[in-house]
A = this chain, B = another copy of it.
Amino acid sequence: MPELRKDPVAGEWVIIGTERPRRPEDFRSAPVPRQPGPCILCGGNESETPPEVLAYRAGDGAPNGAGWRVRVVPSKFPTLRIEGDLERRGHGLYDLMNGVGAHELVVESPRHDDSLAALPLAVVEDVVHAFQERMLDLRRDTRFRSIVVYKPGDGGGGPPFDHPHSQILATPTPPPDLQRELVQARAYHEYRERCLLCDILQQETDEGQRLVVESEHVLGFVPFAARTPFETWLVPRRHLAAYEDVTAAERRDLARTLATVVQRMHVLLPQAPVGFVLHSAPFGDGDAAFFHWHLEVTAHVTALASHGIESGFPTNPLLPEDAARFLRDSAA
């Protein structure tokens, strides 16, 4: 059973994998090169994954058969385990609990060499619809407190294949990155009695210089204090804490703006993997006045951009206003 251990010095939970014994040799190899297909996520290999929990098919294809556009399966190598109780406990001054959670893969295409940027818009809509449907299902499990949906941009550490996919992680406590946002958003709301991201939307619209993409329901901009050179956030114009409560129109706009941003990043940075993370209110805070769901898109550029990892001071060598201009100007 994996464990969740709390780092008392930073005050943050860490997932500790304990399932497979590891030796130092396991950590010696170079980064895994891009794997050619076909892989277990490819269309036709449905029997090689755990049974699907959701799929969109044309017509009336049978579950776990071919013919799907987007398919969600539990991870074969889950970071957390779906079985068991939380068993929160102490160990001397330390705190830990069982590594209970759900870890699923959203397979974005049956084709191994596809990419999010190349998918038809209708399929990107399926992808973000799958996020919503899985969150609505997983939040019924009372052991879980939070879900993040993310797309690993670099293939590192993930499953040993490069088939286009995103991941869903349901956890008994929010990830530290989200936890920090919750603390700040709550403090801002207590002080000003307004939502922080609603105020940011207003200022970004007024200033305009960090805007990347605009649509009826979603605004895309480079954040004022972006940590990485081309970081772009997609934020719904309507205040809504939990992503799973979006309307179909908001979902379509998210798909459209996400596809636009990913395509533009690929134009500017042809070699850089593009990833994202979706931050939504923890369950129980779904009607929160202080939190506002959003999606953070990151281009994984290596050169010039890994400053700050060791010093602990994030350092971005590109002015956010310049990044936004480059992303606007790269529109096809």
Where the two chains meet, the residues of A that have a C-beta atom closer than 8 Å to any C-beta of B are 5-18, 20-24, 26-32, 79, 91-94, 148, 150-154, 156-158, 167, 169, 171, 175-178, 180-181, 183-185, 187-188, 196-197, 199-200, 203, 206-207, 223-227, 229-230, 268-272, 275-277, 298-299, 301-320, 322, 326, 330
B93 touches A319 (CB 8 A): no
B169 touches A313 (CB 8 A): yes
With a cutoff of 8 Å between Cβ atoms, the chain B residues found around residue A313 in the complex are: 13-15, 79, 148, 169, 171, 175-177
Copy total for this chain: 2
Known contacts A24-B326, A169-B313; is A9 also within 8 Å of B175 by CB?
no
> Which among B26, B157, B330 is the interface contact of A308 at CB below 8 angstroms?
B157
**Most chain B beta carbons < 10 A, residue from A10, A24, A180:** A24
A277 touches B157 (CB 8 A): no
> Which among B79, B94, B199 is the interface contact of A315 at CB below 8 angstroms?
B79
Chain B residue nearest to A275 (CB atoms) is: B310
B30 touches A157 (CB 8 A): no
With a cutoff of 8 Å between Cβ atoms, the chain B residues found around residue A91 in the complex are: 224
Contacts A20-B317, A29-B303 supplied; 13 other A-B pairs, CB < 8 Å: A11-B180, A15-B307, A15-B308, A27-B299, A27-B318, A28-B271, A28-B272, A79-B315, A94-B203, A148-B312, A154-B309, A156-B303, A176-B312
A129 CB to nearest B CB, Å: 21
With a cutoff of 8 Å between Cβ atoms, the chain B residues found around residue A92 in the complex are: 203, 206-207
A290 CB to nearest B CB, Å: 12
A305 touches B229 (CB 8 A): no
Known contacts A79-B307, A271-B30, A303-B30; is A318 also within 8 Å of B14 by CB?
no
With a cutoff of 8 Å between Cβ atoms, the chain B residues found around residue A301 in the complex are: 27-28
In the assembled complex, the Cα of A151 lies from the Cα of B312 at a distance in Å of 11
